Amino acid sequence: MPPVNPNIALFVTCLVDLFRPSAAFAAVRLLEDAGCAVKVPDTQTCCGQPAYNSGDKTSAGRLAAQTIRLLMDYDYVVVPSGSCAAMIKRHYPQFLAGDAALAAQARTLAAKTFELTQFLHDVMHYKPAARAGDTLTYHDACSGLRELGVQAQPRALLSGGVIENDDGETCCGFGGTFCVKYTGVSTAIADKKLDRFSATGATAVTGGDLGCLMHLAGRAARRGLPLQFRHVAEILAGDVSAPAIAEPEK
Amino acid sequence: MSQQRIAIIGRIRASLMARGAVSDEHAAASRISARARNLIPARGQLQGDALRTQFQNFVVKTQASIAAVATAQDVPAAIGDYMASGGITGPVRLSGDHWLATMPWNAIAHFNPATGAVMETDGAGVSVALCGIAETATLMLTSGPTAASGLNFLPPTHIIVLRAADIVGALEDGWARLRQAGNGQMPRTVNLITGPSRTADIAQTMYMGAHGPKHLHVIVVDGDE
Amino acid sequence: MQRRPAAFNANAAEALLDADLQAALGAAQAGFGVKRRKAIEGLPEFEALCDQAAAIKDHVLDHLDVYLERFETQVFASGGMVHWCEDAEQARQIIVKLCRSVNAKMVTKGKSMVAEEIGLNPFLEANGIRPVETDLGEYIIQLADEPPSHIIGPALHKTRDQVSDLFHAHHRALGFAERQTEGEALVGEARAILRQQYLQADVGITGANFLIAETGSTVIVTNEGNGDMTQIFPRMHIVIASIEKIVPTLEDAATLLRVLARSATGQEMSVYTTFSTGPKRKADADGPEQFHVVLLDNGRSELLGGNQRDILRCIRCGACMNNCPVYMAAGGHAYGATYMGPMGSVLTPNLTGLERAQALPFASTFCGKCEAVCPMRIPLPKLMRDLRTEAHATRITPVRERLWLALWSWVSLRPELYHRLSGMGLAVLKLLARGRGRFHWLPLAGGWTRTRDFPAPQGESFMAQWARRGKPKA
């Protein structure tokens, strides 16, 4: 039985906040439609993943403490990003395990933090409205896939189905700061992924992680590929009014 | 006791201590003497007909061939048939195995079967396996006074003769046989052979007969001597 | 290609433009993926076996000194000798000394990454001893004078045409006038040439996948049979192996063998798995008269005491690099080190120093595929992250990067400032974008815009819009 009118904190994530508010508004709509009371804690910033993956454990710890304090008091925390959700759900408890003050809180927060599609499907048993539109292929971002097991959920939610692309479990080459430190390799990996998207015949690509989508959309634009990239929240909410990622305004 | 040995052992102990641990000679000694078996897959625990079928099927899967004969006396003729049908020429180099010596090799005199040192010109080698492991279709061959390891590798065709009763389920069963046969002493060489030699080192394409034999044929002897 | 990790980006750039290499990598990736999947599907107990294999290795590491001592005792008991070497130099010296003791002029070699690690071949040559690689892949790269690009398939980066060129150039002098182009013929030519080397070699040198403490045996795993030909015929058999290769019993070896071949090439079992114990027995029909095991430390005893210890469980199957998107784009030579791919990115800094090799643990997207396929349950992304943490803490990462990240973190810890600054930044970007939706170029974003357009923001941030709509904030 899904929870009744749960009190949700939306942790919007820096990329969505800054570059794709339409995905966040879509997420709010979906969550409210699913019967949640959505709150947006107004002092949220970054979960600390860039610092953590770059080896700055100190800053990561401080940002984790800030984030934990911010999100402690809700029934659930929902995140429209697999990698940020995994940061809170998997990595906070691990790297704060030795911190007397935060360890228990990190575990508590982890237990109630979910990636968006995982929450909608597994917890709220949500059934979105039927979707019409472009033939769609799905990009499974690595963190969501391997750290959180998000794979079946978006597909279950995307009525009308998706066309699977080959080697779907292979990375797109984004990897956070990797994409600018190792530009050539990152781009070569993206090209392989884009070619597999194109091979499906799909006209649109969606996924749960904006970093991957921005990296892929940016490369597709540079190559002139006719693929439209949107966050899965936008597709599920039926909101394609905003231009696709990296697309010009009409 | 070399200086280097002392230094290395010392550093290992220091490293273990740095993590709050101390190595335990007892723990190691008991593990070694216990020789406990770990998980053995179901496929390695077959018996009877299932065991034999598994072995046969997998021998073929490894690109070797297999034939069965009723008694040891039928082995030379079976080898002759195999070589004739495959267009394989002699001479045939027999290992010094005593069991092989009891077989009627004049039945294939035209293939020049002989014991003795392996020669570059030998067309086929014949060995006896200590056992055959059904789980992976692996043959266990050991070195010894009557078994030159070189025979397993030099001739382009290798024929391994195996008693049906020596087909066992898993490698662990093979170890048990080996310990029994050697009275607890290891031979110089234990060759676990699974199919003929091959390589995929040129453009990821498989080619047989890289350095070892190109053809491997297994003859299972069902009956007693 | 430069032989140093710091050149990773430059090496990778070269690799990405190499059409032959990219074709070879594509073929390898497709092949490895399919084969491993099939092999695992054929064995329902695979994951449980991996757990056991990892536990066996952890146990060994906990008692490494005792097991090594036991191994040595058993080697002595079977008539062999053990030589302990703290570093590469000592190992090279002892091997040359052993070769000289039998007046060796030419030695055959089975594939050994440890021999590569200590730079054995150039040292042998400098001392008047000719090493002949017998593994076909190693033979190919020896002719090409290149290092291995993969721990299982050293010539993975070579196309068949390139091999044909190499053989034609080098085999003419040996009497093979006609150029071969078909794979089978090329293999046949190598086989004919190496056959003579096996029989004429004074010494055979092999590596070891495992060292068995119970029996004092060294284990090699090949598909070609070259490692066997290398050790049967010469007077002396030298095994070069690193200290963490120890396995307690023959039963434990069986478990590890079950996960090794499957993870490496998708085979149930490699064609030749050979257990060598001491020199030939007195009455044996053949075999080497002398058996020497050269045990190499080279930083592993220290590794054992730190937070990177898990990498010592590695059995060199290569599954991590077969499944790594970075390795499969840049190839093995890009890493500029003996060990490449994910396991190489962890092992290399630990063996050669983080400062020199820091490019490697950062050359990962942390996609996690390596960890998912590692049969020894090595948490490779975590180990790479720990190396990044050490690099950051010791300030060996580039200053500019540290400053930008520090700035981001600093601002993120001040939400009001974060939202004010981001508001300003977004306004500027939106203006500059002029409705085109993306930037072909942005100052300070060259790493991105060199190959990708940068998506323009939609306008105000979500948080700013949300606040303006007067919705309840918390």
Q: Is C81 part of a structural domain of the chain?
A: yes
Report how far residue C288's alpha carbon sits from residue C294's, in angstroms, rounded to the nearest whole number: 16
Q: pLDDT truncated to tens, each residue of chain C (474 aa)? A: 999 999 999 999 999 999 999 999 998 998 888 889 898 998 999 999 999 999 999 999 999 999 999 999 999 999 999 999 999 999 999 999 999 999 999 999 999 999 999 999 999 999 999 999 999 999 999 999 999 999 989 999 999 999 999 999 999 999 999 999 999 999 999 999 999 999 999 999 999 999 999 999 999 999 999 999 999 999 999 999 999 999 999 999 999 999 999 999 999 999 999 999 999 999 999 999 999 999 999 999 999 999 999 999 999 999 999 999 999 999 999 999 999 999 999 999 999 999 999 999 999 999 999 999 999 999 999 999 999 999 999 999 999 999 999 999 999 999 999 999 999 999 999 999 999 999 999 998 999 999 999 999 999 999 999 998 865 555
Q: Are strands B189-193 and B138-142 parallel, antiparallel or unpaired?
A: antiparallel
Q: What are phi and psi of A99, to 5 degrees?
A: -90, 110
A171, C367 in Cβ contact below 8 A?
yes
What's the pLDDT tens digit per position in C247-271? 999 999 999 999 999 999 999 999 9
Report how far residue C155's alpha carbon sits from residue C52's, in angstroms, rounded to the nearest whole number: 32
Three-class DSSP category at C217:
strand
- Which domains are present in chain B? 1-36 (no CATH), 42-221 (3.40.50.10420)
A206, A232 in Cβ contact below 8 A?
yes
Report how far residue A140's alpha carbon sits from residue A213's, in angstroms, rounded to the nearest whole number: 10
C109, C132 in Cβ contact below 8 A?
yes
Which two three-digit tokens encode residue A46? 């970054």
C262 with C135, same domain: the answer is: yes
CA nearest to C280 within chain B: B188
Is the ipTM reported for this complex over the cut 0.95?
yes
Q: Chain A closest CA to C230's CA: distance in Å?
A: 39
Query: What are the E-state strand segments in C223-358?
Result: 236-242, 246-247, 272-276, 290-296
Give residue C415's domain range. 407-468
| Mutation for C interface: A143, A186, A192, most C CBs within 10 A | A186
A68, A102 in Cβ contact below 8 A?
yes
Any B CB within 8 A of C41 CB: no
Q: Is C154 part of a structural domain of the chain?
A: yes
CA B114 from centroid of its chain's CA atoms:
21
Angle CA B33–B39–B43, to nearest 5? 125
List CB contacts of A116: < 8 A, sequence separation 6 or more.
A27, A30, A78, A79, A80, A81, A208, A232, A233
What's the pLDDT tens digit per position in B164-219? 999 999 999 999 999 999 988 999 999 999 999 999 888 888 899 989 999 999 99
CA nearest to C77 within chain B: B185
In angstroms, the Cα distances linking C301 to B47, C58, C346 are 45, 14, 16
Q: Is C422 part of a structural domain of the chain?
A: yes
A touches which chains (3+ CB pairs under 8 A)? C
Q: Is C25 part of a structural domain of the chain?
A: no
Tell if the CB–CB gap between A171 and C365 is shorter than 8 Å: yes
Which two three-digit tokens encode residue C261? 């071949």
Candidates C206, C324, C186, C356; CA nearest to C272 is C206
Angle CA C376–C381–C384, to nearest 5? 110
CA nearest to A43 within chain C: C415
Q: Is C130 part of a structural domain of the chain?
A: yes
Q: What ranges do the domains of chain A cover? A: 7-122, 128-236
List CB contacts of B53: < 8 A, sequence separation 6 or more.
none
Tell if the CB–CB gap between C413 and A217 is shorter than 8 Å: no
Long-range contacts of C81-84 (CB under 8 A, 24+ apart): C81/C290, C81/C291, C81/C292, C81/C293, C82/C292, C82/C293, C82/C295, C83/B2, C83/C292, C83/C293, C83/C294, C83/C295, C84/B2, C84/B4, C84/B5, C84/B8, C84/C295, C84/C297
Total domains present in chain C? 2
List the single residue in A12, A55, A183 with the smallest CB-CB distance to C447: A183
Final residue belonging to a domain, choices C298, C321, C354? C298
Q: Is C395 part of a structural domain of the chain?
A: no
Q: Chain A closest CA to C330's CA: distance in Å?
A: 7
C294 with C420, same domain: the answer is: no
Tell if the CB–CB gap between C472 and A39 is shorter than 8 Å: yes
Structure-derived torsion over alpha carbons of residues A91, A95, A100, A104, reported in degrees to the nearest 10: 20
C220 with C99, same domain: the answer is: yes
Tell if the CB–CB gap between A246 and C437 is shorter than 8 Å: yes
Q: Is C386 part of a structural domain of the chain?
A: no
Q: Report which DSSP code applies to A165.
A: P
Three-class DSSP category at A182:
coil
Candidates A88, A120, A143; CA nearest to A232 is A120
Report how far residue C290's alpha carbon sits from residue C286's, in angstroms, rounded to the nearest whole number: 12
Query: What are the E-state strand segments in chain A?
Result: 7-10, 37-39, 76-79, 113-115, 136-139, 204-207, 228-231
Q: Are strands C236-242 and C290-296 parallel, antiparallel or unpaired?
A: parallel
Final residue belonging to a domain, choices C298, C328, C347? C298
Which one is the CATH code of A128-236: 2.60.40, 3.40.50, 1.10.10, 3.30.40?
A: 3.40.50
